[in-house]
């Protein structure tokens, strides 16, 4: 594969950066791109372009505005293979996953939010007045303005478009920074924007890092009206401090330490398959992935043995091979972090049921960031490996005796993103799901998405919800109009 140059898209044109940095394929370490880091002046220019484009974009009739979003979705699908190969080269994720999840969702995000914007209703109330007449109150919604979007590396196109699409649909203009680890599909999206004739300045892409780079230049920029961010909790905290002086709205989708609860009345095979998927999908690099599994004691040993078999069936192969079910982690740096937890778990007293190390292949994959799927048992609930997000293909399995105990252990975390409950007793399913202190609770499934539903977390997992009408609340400002009749 030739080495791409990934440039900044500002005011409808591509620009070289102040310097370039190298992007490597995590499957074999090959150099795949030189990324043009944006300077502070270029971020300023992107914000100025977005500001200049805002009145025209916001004033477009919704049918015309959303037509651009449908065109962006069509454009992604027209270049499906380019997006697919770029995403796989950037992340190492298996072609089966990327072709089913990442790229289709990139297009679906644009279509869904176009549809939501086209069919919006308006909050209104008839109010009785003291003189026996009435007033009409209605909440007229205006775009928030110029929105800064900062996204992570784990589902690059999916998470980038999850924020860019609603921002544009509701009439905002955008300055967006993809993760420096996965910069390619955001650049391809800018190419599609150019191809479909999106008005210059409506959508800008700047490349770079966080501190003292494009990320910080966006979050501290005085002329950006709000920040929507997905990434680590610690980064969210830094961004919150950066935006505080300007008292700007933030929407944060942060880390998780998600639990699965498996009851003795669960469909055993479905629960094993479902938990294996929720632990190991995307090499454990989905914020919703399960890292803590609680299983009723009566089926604990049988469950651990069955989950071990599922883990050992995973095919750690080349990402483009359709037989591959687990690719590498996203980078050698991230693998070092995950490895530090593999070491720590042993120090904390874990029994390693399977995995615990780095596989060898005898080919170029040995230069990549592969890691074995790993299952632990035997850790105390106070262990750091139970409390901290690892973000790799690892889980700890612990037994419980009662429903109350399972709920207590699952909720014993400062994160609050997701949980999965496995039971054939639907009354229990509802009861336990509602008792989870999380933004998203699944019963007998995991990562089953309807884009109209609220998405996000509480506690260390974030602030606010996006999805459907919930996105409207972040990406618009209401003006209540009260008309005396």
The catalytic residue positions are 253, 287
- What is the closest distance, in whole angstroms, from the C-beta atom of residue 467 to ligand 6OD in the complex? 7
Q: Does 286 bind ligand 6OD (CB under 6 A)?
A: yes
The residue range among 267-275, 286-294, 312-320, 423-431 that interacts with ligand 6OD, by the rule CB under 6 A, is 286-294
- What is the closest distance, in whole angstroms, from the C-beta atom of residue 196 to ligand 6OD in the complex? 23
Query: Going by C-beta distance under 8 Å and a sequence separation of 6 or more, which residues neighbour residue 158?
Result: 101, 102, 105, 106, 109
Cβ nearer to ligand NAD, comparing 90 with 180 = 180
Size of the site for ligand NAD (CB under 6 A): 32
Residue among 173, 148, 194 at smallest CA distance from 49: 173
Cβ nearer to ligand NAD, comparing 107 with 286 = 286
Residue 73 DSSP one-character state: H
Q: Does 154 bind ligand 6OD (CB under 6 A)?
A: yes
- Distance in angstroms (rounded) separating the CA atoms of residues 218 and 45: 11
Of these partners, ligand NAD, ligand 6OD, none, which one is at the site of residue 449 (CB under 5 to 8 Å by kind)?
ligand 6OD
Residue among 161, 369, 180 at smallest CA distance from 284: 369
- Distance in angstroms (rounded) separating the CA atoms of residues 48 and 11: 9
- What is the closest distance, in whole angstroms, from the C-beta atom of residue 392 to ligand 6OD in the complex? 13
Q: Does 463 bind ligand NAD (CB under 6 A)?
A: no
Locate tokens 């009145």: which residue?
Answer: 55
DSSP codes of every residue in 281-332: GGGG-STT-EEEEEEEGGGHHHHHHHHHHHHHH--B--TTSTT--B---S-H
Query: Going by C-beta distance under 8 Å and a sequence separation of 6 or more, which residues neighbour residue 305?
Result: none
Q: Does 232 bind ligand NAD (CB under 6 A)?
A: yes
- What is the closest distance, in whole angstroms, from the C-beta atom of residue 271 to ligand NAD in the complex? 24
- Distance in angstroms (rounded) separating the CA atoms of residues 418 and 440: 5
Of these partners, ligand NAD, ligand 6OD, none, which one is at the site of residue 232 (CB under 5 to 8 Å by kind)?
ligand NAD
Of these partners, ligand NAD, ligand 6OD, none, which one is at the site of residue 373 (CB under 5 to 8 Å by kind)?
none
In the list 20, 34, 127, 238, the residue contacting ligand NAD (rule: CB under 6 A) is: 238
Query: Going by C-beta distance under 8 Å and a sequence separation of 6 or more, which residues neighbour residue 136?
Result: 124, 125, 126, 127, 482, 483, 485
DSSP codes of every residue in 333-386: HHHHHHHHHHHHHHHTT-EEEE--S----SSGGGGS-----EEEE---TTSHHH
- What is the closest distance, in whole angstroms, from the C-beta atom of residue 464 to ligand 6OD in the complex? 12
- Residues at the interface with ligand 6OD (CB under 6 A): 154-155, 159, 162, 286-288, 449, 455
- Residues at the interface with ligand NAD (CB under 6 A): 150-154, 159, 177, 179-180, 209-211, 215-216, 219, 230-232, 235, 238-239, 253-256, 287, 389, 391, 417, 457, 461-462
């Amino acid at each position: 594969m030739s080495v791409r140059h990934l440039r900044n898209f500002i005011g409808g044109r591509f620009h070289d950066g102040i310097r370039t940095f190298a992007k490597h394929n995590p499957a074999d370490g090959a150099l795949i791109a030189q990324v043009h880091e944006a300077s502070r002046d270029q971020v300023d220019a992107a914000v100025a372009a977005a500001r200049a484009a805002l009145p025209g974009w916001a004033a477009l009739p919704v049918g015309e505005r959303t037509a651009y979003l449908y065109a962006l979705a069509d454009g992604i699908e027209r270049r499906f293979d380019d997006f697919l190969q770029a995403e796989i080269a950037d992340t190492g994720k298996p072609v089966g996953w990327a072709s089913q999840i990442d790229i289709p969702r990139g297009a679906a995000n644009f279509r869904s939010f176009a549809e939501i914007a086209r069919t919006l209703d308006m909050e209104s109330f008839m109010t009785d007045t003291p003189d026996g007449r009435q007033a009409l109150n209605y909440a007229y919604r205006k775009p928030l303005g110029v929105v800064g979007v900062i996204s992570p590396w784990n589902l690059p196109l999916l998470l980038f478009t999850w924020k860019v699409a609603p921002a544009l649909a509701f009439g905002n203009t955008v300055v967006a920074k993809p993760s420096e680890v996965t910069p390619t599909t955001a650049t391809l999206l800018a190419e599609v924007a150019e191809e479909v004739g999106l008005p210059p300045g409506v959508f800008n892409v700047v490349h770079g890092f966080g501190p003292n780079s494009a990320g910080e230049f966006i979050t501290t920029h005085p002329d950006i009206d709000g920040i929507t961010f997905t990434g680590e909790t610690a980064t969210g905290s830094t961004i919150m401090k950066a935006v505080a002086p300007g008292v700007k709205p933030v929407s944060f989708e942060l880390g998780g330490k998600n639990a699965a609860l498996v009851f003795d009345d669960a469909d055993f095979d479905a629960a094993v398959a479902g938990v294996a998927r929720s632990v190991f999908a995307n090499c454990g690099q989905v914020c919703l992935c399960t890292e803590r599994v609680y299983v009723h004691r009566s089926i604990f040993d049988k469950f651990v043995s069955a989950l071990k078999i599922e883990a050992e069936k995973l095919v750690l192969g080349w990402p483009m091979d359709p037989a591959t079910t687990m690719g590498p982690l996203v980078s050698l740096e991230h693998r070092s972090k995950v490895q530090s937890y593999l070491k720590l778990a042993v120090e904390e007293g874990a029994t390693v049921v399977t995995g615990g190390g780095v596989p060898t292949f005898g080919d170029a994959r040995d230069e990549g960031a592969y890691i074995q799927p790993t299952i632990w048992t035997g850790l105390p609930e106070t262990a750091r490996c139970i409390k901290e997000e690892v973000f790799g293909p690892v889980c700890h399995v612990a037994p419980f005796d009662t429903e109350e105990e399972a709920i207590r252990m699952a909720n014993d975390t400062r994160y609050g993103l997701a949980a999965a409950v496995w039971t054939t007793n639907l009354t229990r399913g509802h009861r336990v799901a509602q008792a989870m202190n999380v933004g998203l609770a699944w019963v007998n499934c995991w990562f089953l998405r309807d884009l109209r539903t609220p998405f996000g977390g509480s506690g260390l997992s974030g602030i606010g919800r996006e999805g459907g009408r919930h996105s409207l609340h972040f990406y618009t400002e209401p003006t209540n109009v009260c008309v005396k009749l």
